[in-house]
Amino acid sequence: MSRIEQLTSLLAAEPDDVFLHFALAMELAKVGRSGEALSHFSRVIELDPDYTAAYVQKARILIEMKQPDAARQTITAGIEAARRAAEPHTAEKLHEMLQGLGDH
């Protein structure tokens, strides 16, 4: 059984487990299943709006998929989450990603 299959099976039993959604999203992203990964990163954010790593990873995928407006929205929300969670390093990383998008 693959890691993706294992995580999917675990999620069937625990559909609101934030870490399982995050882990599955990361595995999906690794194998190029970006749309599915985005869905799970979005679910992480829905379940735990202060899970800042999900914003970073979701924004990276959106940038790779050439969706700058969606990436900008995710990054902006992530910066706010990082401030709420007192994670200045993550806020700075997201700010740098935002600058990298430019003013388009």
Question: What's the pLDDT tens digit per position in 54-63?
Answer: 999 999 999 9
- So what's the pLDDT on residue 102? 79
Range of the domain at 35: 3-101
Question: What's the pLDDT tens digit per position in 45-89?
Answer: 999 999 999 999 999 999 999 999 999 999 999 999 999 999 999
Cα end-to-end span (Å), the chain: 44
The pTM score is 0.94
9: buried, middle or exposed (CB in 10 Å: 19+, 13-18, 0-12)? exposed
- The total of structural domains in the chain comes to 1
Which CATH number does the domain housing residue 7 bear? 1.25.40.10
Task: Compute φ and ψ for 49, nearest 5 degrees.
Answer: -60, -15
- Size of the chain, expressed as the number of residues it contains: 104
